[in-house]
Amino acid sequence: AQSVTQPDIHITVSEGASLELRCNYSYGATPYLFWYVQSPGQGLQLLLKYFSGDTLVQGIKGFEAEFKRSQSSFNLRKPSVHWSDAAEYFCAVVTSYSGAGSYQLTFGKGTKLSVIP
């Protein structure tokens, strides 16, 4: 069965430090991959997505992610974290899609990011 794994439940970094959040997927075909961010008390906002082309994807708020097929990974990175980046981050992969357009989005369990001033 298709799945998404985020190995880190909680990460703490200092403001200004670099960040990498890990995401591994299990899916037979070429995956469609997403990173969403959820700020406290808010809904989810899309950071970036990958479904073809360049394996390094740029997103909003200075985030980027790299798709590595050989490692089944889609890790999220940011070179310098800001205090406002403290949130929960979810990796997601499209599963169960057909030519008729029916699809499901499967989410990882999330990684909570804390930022130390």
Partner 1 sequence: EAQVTQNPRYLITVTGKKLTVTCSQNMNHEYMSWYRQDPGLGLRQIYYSMNVEVTDKGDVPEGYKVSRKEKRNFPLILESPSPNQTSLYFCASSFLAGSGETQYFGPGTRLLVL
**b/e code 2-20 from CB counts within 10 Å (16+ = b):** eebebeeeebebeeeeebe
Tokens (6 digits) for 6: 């985020």
Of 26, 79, 70, 74, nearest to 50 by C-alpha is: 74
Tokens (6 digits) for 96: 């169960």
Site for partner 1 in 38-57 (CB under 8 A): 42-46, 49, 51
Does 11 engage in binding with partner 1 (CB under 8 A)?
A: no
Does 102 engage in binding with partner 1 (CB under 8 A)?
A: yes
Does 86 engage in binding with partner 1 (CB under 8 A)?
A: no
Q: Site for partner 1 (CB under 8 A): which residue of 109, 113, 114, 116?
A: 109
Of 40, 58, 52, nearest to 110 by C-alpha is: 40
Query: With CB under 8 A as the contact rule, which of the stretches 17-25, 68-76, 78-86, 87-95 interacts with partner 1?
Result: 87-95
3-state secondary structure of 49: strand
Number of residues that bind partner 1 (CB under 8 A): 26
Q: In the complex, which residues of this chain contact partner 1 (CB under 8 A)?
A: 9, 32, 34, 36, 42-46, 49, 51, 90, 92, 94, 97, 100-110
